[in-house]
Structure 1
Amino acid sequence: MEEKILLVDDEEGIRKVLGISLMDIGYQVFTAQNGKEALAVFRQHSPPIVLTDIKMPVMDGIDLLQQIKAESPDTEVIMLTGHGDMDLAIKCLKLEATDFITKPINDDILEIALKRANDRISMRTQLRAYTENLENLVREQTARLMKTERLAAVGQAVEGMSSALRGIAGDLDAGINCFNELPCFVAIHNRHQEIIAINPLYRERLGDHVGQASGAAYPPDSVEASPVKETFTTGTGMRRRVTVVYADGTRGPVMVHTAPIRDSQGAVELVVEIGADIGEVRKLQERLQATQQRYQQLFDEAPCYITVQAPDLTIRAANRRFQEDFNLSVGARCHNIYKDRDDACPDCPVAKTFSDGQSHQCEMEVTSKRGENYRVLIQTAPIRDLAGNITRVMEMSTNITRTRRLEDQLASLGLMIGSVSHGIKGLLTGLDGGMYLLDSGFKKENQEQIREGWDTVRFMVGRIRDMVLDILYYAREKDLKWETVDVLGFAEEVLKTVGPKIKGQDITLTHRFDPAIGRFEVDAGIVRSALTNIIENAVEACRLDRSGRSHEICFEVTQDAGYIYLNVLDNGIGMEEAIRANVFTPFFSSKGERGTGLGLFISNRILSQHGGGISLQSEPNTGSRFSIKIPKKATPPSLHSDTPPSY
């Protein structure tokens, strides 16, 4: 049977082309041209996956996403857009969208997104099936355990029943009939130690010994003292394990309980003997133990974290995987262990299940005993007693940290590709303009127009070259070449590199170096590139300032016990808050068409690889200060991130 999918887009051409692609993959495709129409189709056909454009009339994709998630949280919604907007993508993912794809839609990216959606649907289906199997297993074991407990309670019931038998001692038929339904052997003995009445199970399994001596059911070679004889002698009940001979001649162990029945003067007139077949109980116990072992193995080997919680949210049982990754202590609650908090989490799914008896699902971030943060998908299920009351709730948590990281990486990749495409499109447009001027100048033999066109082409080719080199630098994972470098010599080399670029710019370059500074371990080549890029940005900030004041760039080098500090200060145009917040974001540039938007991002990444950090202080019309710190000793991080540690 074909899987259903709903495609929502206000452009008919996209609905037709994308609909054909989806049908080729094997989907039954329903379409709608806006969110309102899509909602009606969704309610009628309940497709598990929805692909929707964001910008649409009547009801846009964001509103549709919220409405679908409110009505059907398990539905996977993939967002389509022609605008590579990071804020828009983050908003969609926070509203639990499955993925975010930019137009034009690449078939491979679409298939990856659909596969992820189907994997999530399959995972939830497996979790539900697993929950149902565990509920059935718990219910079966509870019933068997209660049966065993009833058998074990026979001894405790004997004393109470003997009191009731005092009033019917003269009516043996009525007395023995009280025991006809018991799953054990019952015999009544007189003071002459003769069997005067037995119940049906005794007759069936041990034989009809009515009228025979009290020890008729015991082996003739038995040396065990008769519990019936001892009860007549002592006047007290006995509990003893004995061997009996069954009607088929086989022997087996029985746990015997005896109780005296006294006459009106208090003398022992009769003795009731009740025997429970230990062999049957043992077999039942062995089967129960084997089932418990299989249940425990299933419990421990489950590929997720499982806990069983009481109404006060204390954890009463946890599987092996949970105990390996989290600190489990007696009386601890899940919010103590997961979140290190004293009060229950808001909208706790376990509390909801205790309240309404339904299974609940949520996603949250938890912290392991090693301090690692995990993203987990939580599913709950009620555990009921035989009366139908909820006594426990089972919570199953699947670690989806790697899945979420992959989703974030793919979303970032999609946004980056969209941004690159947009930037290249602008460059190509400018290149087309230059070529048009060249072509027109040649036709008109207009030298001025030819020069203008050639300058435009040369400028655009240079920008394309810079962007491609920056992208290649960003994409290539570098192995750092660590070396011990003299800091003053390194700083002087940086000055020699940037000095010629400042000449003729009406900018003064000064420096303040700590003369006592020593050495540090770095990859000198790429750190020099990062510093050069930052100083070139300072030159650009001074050049764009039209205030008429004199401009200065100062390069400082200082130190403390563990770090070298490289500071670049300028009194150029400065930055507003909106620019400061994005200067290290890839493909963001405040230079307009003069920048690629990758320089500061790459510089930031280089410093992060060294285990260092970078901070920025800037105000409009005042200037900027970039403060860089690098450890004196090489401390390469185990996992590089795109954002260096702050300080």
Structure 2
Amino acid sequence: MTDDILLVDDEAGIRKVLGISLADLGYTVHGAENAAAALTIIETVRPAIILTDIKMPGMNGIELLKAVKDRYPDTEVIMLTGHGDMDLAIESLKFQATDFITKPISEVALTVALQRAGERIDMRRQLNAYTQNLEHLVEEKSRQLIEAERLAAVGETVAGLSHTIKNIAGGLDGGMFVLEKGIELEDTAYLQQGWKLVRGNVDRIKTLSLDLLNFAKTDRMAYRPVDPGQPAREVFDLMRSRAEAHGMDFVLEVETGLAPIQMDPAGIHQCLLNLVTNAIDAVLDTEPADGEQRITVSVSAAESGGVRYRVADTCCGMDEPTKARLFQRFFTTKGERGTGIGLMLTRTIVHRHKGTIDVDSQPGKGSCFTINLPDRPR
């Protein structure tokens, strides 16, 4: 039972008599002769139940009810009214009064009204407790779900990484077997073939290690204003000799007048490097549809603001099932040469910039990867 109760009535006699009855019921009674005094007491005592006369000088009981419900909506207010004020009493129910009692006040009516108020208070407390428990339960289940998803992702990553390492180890075993045969037979062709296999798989180990290190760095993006053309020019200068050594037409197109945007230049450099490296490998592995071996890197303003990067090649293109799996963990189209991390890393970096990456590719018509970055990623 709630200990504190506020009795508001301009008649001192009623406050005294009714106060005794309330005290006998176990309440600590606070009295107020008008609504203004009641509001002052409410600020200090915060009673859960208020009994107030409807007709009082100055602010009447309904106005007090409205003020209490506006400030303390959980407070239960019981109205005291004379027989001639029934319309006002009924009106008070529209403003969320708990009940009303007619004067002279009978002990039975008072007990029933107080019991109803107490039941509402208890029900509200139970509801609040249930809501809090439900929130804690949802929070705990959400935490467990996130943990389960994290463990599943870790398991999937470990499984994919183990498969990749197993393939590399198998390649090294094969290379060493050929080398041993070459040494045993003193066969130069075997030696060259075995060494090529070993060197290729050692390169895969190096690439895998670098990709994993770069992936770990994606949580530490260092954003600053950068000329959007800068990462593209750096990648172009870095990869031009390799492309030209294989007879490819390597083109860089940077729109003039591009404004600096907030980005992590090292991250975007890594994205473009991955895409250009993939394009060169794709062109080397396939016969171009139009007889040309061409890779184009372009930088332009995006329609919605920010910058757009495109890396296009003239390789044989990809079908829909391949495109659907491009950004999955450890999926690669490079066979034994790929790690399946590069495009996953690229997408992660782009998403850290709040950007998007899309691919347009059709068999026989080449591929074009498009990165759109906003001018402010955070």
Under TM normalisation by the shorter chain, which class is it?
A: 0.5 to 0.7
Q: 1:481 aligns with which of 199, 222, 226?
A: 222
1:298 maps to: 126
Q: Quick check: 2:176–2:198 contact (8 Å CA) kept in 1?
A: yes
Q: Deviations over 1:600-636 (max 9, x none)?
A: 111111111112211110001110111111223x222
Counterpart contact for 1:303–1:398, Cα < 8 Å: no
1:532 aligns with 2:360: no
Q: CA RMSD in A?
A: 3.3
Within 5 A, what are the aligned runs for 1:174-253? none
Closer, same or farther: CA 516–547 of 1 in aligned 2, 3 Å: closer
Q: Which amino acid is the alignment partner of residue 587 of structure 1?
A: F
Paired position in structure 1 for 2:146: 405
Q: Which runs of 5+ in 2 are unaligned?
A: 1-82, 84-100
136, 160, 165: which one aligns with 1:419? 160
Distance 1:586 1:510 in 2: 30
Residue in 1 that maps onto 2:285: 544
Q: Which residue of 2 aligns with 1:325?
A: none
Return the alpha-carbon distance in structure 1 between the equivalents of residues 273 and 366 of structure 2. Answer: 18
**Is structure 2 residue 346 aligned with structure 1 residue 603?**
yes
* Displaced runs of 4 or more, over 6 A: none
Superposed displacement of residue 464, structure 1? 2.0
Helix, strand or coil for the counterpart of 2:274? Answer: helix
CA distance in 1, matches of 2:367, 2:139: 47
> Are 1:458 and 2:199 matched, yes or no?
yes
| 1:448 to 1:622, Cα distance in 2 relative to 1, 3 A | same
CA distance in 1, matches of 2:293, 2:196: 30
Relative to 1, partners in 2 of residues 1:553 and 1:410: Cα closer, same or farther, differing over 3 Å? same
SS in 2 for 1:568: strand
TM-score (norm 2): 0.65
Distance 1:505 1:537 in 2: 14
Could you say if the C-alpha distance between residues 474 and 508 of structure 1 is closer, same or farther in structure 2, counting changes exceeding 3 Å? same
The answer to whether structure 1 residue 635 and structure 2 residue 371 are counterparts is no
Residues 423, 490 of structure 1: CA spacing in aligned structure 2 closer, same or farther, 3 A cutoff? closer
Q: Is 1:619 aligned to residue 362 of structure 2? A: yes
Specify the structure having the higher radius of gyration (Cα).
1
- Cα–Cα, structure 1 residues 445 and 561, in superposed 2: closer, same or farther, change >3 Å? closer
Q: Quick one: distance in 1 between partners of 2:251 and 2:217?
A: 34
Q: Is the 8 A contact 2:307 2:374 kept in 1?
A: yes
> Counterparts of 1:496 and 1:431 in 2: how far apart (Å)?
33
Question: Is the contact made by 2:358 and 2:371 (CA closer than 8 Å) also made in structure 1?
Answer: yes
Distance 2:349 2:228 in 1: 17
Give 1:521 shift. Answer: 2.1
Deviation string, structure 1 residues 159-210 (Cα, Å, up to 9, x no partner): xxxxxxxxxxxxxxxxxxxxxxxxxxxxxxxxxxxxxxxxxxxxxxxxxxxx
Against the structure 1 CA distance between its residues 478 and 425, is the aligned structure 2 distance closer, same or farther, given a 3 Å change threshold?
same
Aligned residues: 278
* Counterpart secondary structure, 1:611: coil
Q: What is the alpha-carbon distance in structure 2 between the residues aligned to residue 489 and residue 469 of structure 1?
A: 22
How far residue 443 of structure 1 moved from its aligned partner, in angstroms, is: 4.1
The equivalent position to 1:592 in structure 2, one of 316, 332, 335, is: 335
Q: What aligned pairs does 1:312-391 form with structure 2 within 5 A after superposition? A: none
1:434-445 matched pairs, under 5 angstroms: 434-445=175-186
State, as a whole percentage, how many aligned pairs show the same letter: 26
Q: Does 1:570 align with 2:348?
A: no
Show the counterpart of 1:508: 249
Supply the AA of the counterpart residue of 1:293.
Answer: I
Change (3 A) 1:552 1:445: closer
Separation (CA, whole Å) in 1 of partners of 2:314 and 2:298: 15
Give the direction of change, closer, same or farther, for the CA distance of 1:511–1:430 in structure 2 (3 Å limit).
Answer: closer
Q: CA-to-partner distance for each residue in 1:478-537, whole Å, 9 max, x for gaps?
A: 322222222344433232122112122121012332223232221112211111111111
How many Å separate the matches in 2 of 1:544 and 1:483?
A: 38
CA contact (8 A) 2:255 2:299 kept: yes
Q: Unpaired runs of 5+ in structure 1?
A: 1-238, 240-254, 257-276, 307-320, 322-375, 378-396, 637-647
**Counterpart of 1:572 in 2: which secondary structure?**
coil
Q: Whose relative contact order is higher, 1 or 2, with alpha carbons under 8 Å and at least 6 apart?
A: 2
Give the secondary-structure state (helix, strand or coil) at the position aligned to 1:302: helix
Normalized per residue, which structure has more helix?
Answer: 2
Residue 173 (structure 2) aligns with: 432
Cα distance in 1, alignment partners of residues 242 and 300 from structure 2 = 24
